[in-house]
Amino acid sequence: NAGVMQNPRHLVRRRGQEARLRCSPMKGHSHVYWYRQLPEEGLKFMVYLQKENIIDESGMPKERFSAEFPKEGPSILRIQQVVRGDSAAYFCASSPYTQETQYFGPGTRLLVL
Amino acid sequence: DQQVKQNSPSLSVQEGRISILNCDYTNSMFDYFLWYKKYPAEGPTFLISISSIKDKNEDGRFTVFLNKSAKHLSLHIVPSQPGDSAVYFCAASGRGTGGATNKLIFGTGTLLAVQP
């Protein structure tokens, strides 16, 4: 029973490029959450999605960041025109229902040069 | 505004003894609390949770205590083992986080070192 899968595990981008982070939830889970961990900080909520719907994006930066969870395929977190301050670990979590424990993937470590 | 606080950045304990990790919160609308363990370069691993209708939940070596009046929870690990050495995050969710979501609000973590 595979857990939450994220790829790539490491991503290096130059300033101004685009970063695409992918997340496949656990089997049977239809709720996906994205969190970001900046160096020396705790995890911060970014966005909560269900299939084809964004439920809560209150933690997303207003510009350059977007997320989707299509009917088929993984959830995608997209960062356009990356800046050095975007360097962080990005974690995806999934749960079977709302108000259930969230299980995390291994994360994608983004480094912006 | 840090709604979930872990005031001890680190804790060192001898193998076999009890480890007590503490967490305080400010939002009385939180109704579900979780502890996660995290190794470097890995994602958080769920350990144990507690609903606000309870004051204690136990799972093997791990026990979580919730004191709602003090807005405080703690994680007890007994006996502590060297493999428990990791960063421990406290997280909270509930109506106070806004809307219908159960987004988690995390503390900044406590690094536990269990000495052999």
pLDDT confidence bin for B94, thresholds 50/70/90: confident
pLDDT of residue B104: 92
Residue B36 backbone dihedrals phi, psi, to 5 degrees: -125, 150
Q: Which residues pair with A33 in a beta bridge?
A: A48, A93
Distance from CA of B82 to the nearest CA of A (A): 22
Q: With an 8 Å Cβ cutoff, is A66 touching chain B?
A: no
Per-residue pLDDT averaged across A91-106, rounded?
A: 88
Helix, strand counts (H, E) of chain A: 0, 11
Q: How confident is the model at residue B106 (pLDDT cuts 50, 70, 90)?
A: very high
pLDDT grade, residue B46 (50/70/90)? Answer: very high
A contact test, residue of B32, B45, B102 with most A CBs within 10 A: B102
CA distances from B75 to A51, A107, B18, B21 (A): 35, 25, 10, 5
* pLDDT tens figures, A42-58: 899 999 999 889 999 99
| Residue B91 to residue B81: CA distance in whole angstroms | 23
Between chains, do A104 and B41 touch, taking CB under 8 Å as contact? no
- Residue A99's pLDDT is 65
Average pLDDT over residues A66-93: 96
Interface test with A, best of B104, B105, B111 (most A CBs within 10 A): B104
Interface of B with A (CB under 8 A): 4, 32, 34, 36, 41-46, 49, 89, 91, 93, 98-109
Taking the CA atoms of A29, B89, B77 and B16 in sequence, report the sign of the dihedral they define.
Answer: positive
Cα A29–chain centre separation: 15
> Is residue B98 over pLDDT 60?
no
CA distance A12 to A112: 6
Residue A42: the pLDDT is: 87
Could you say which DSSP state residue B95 is in?
A: G
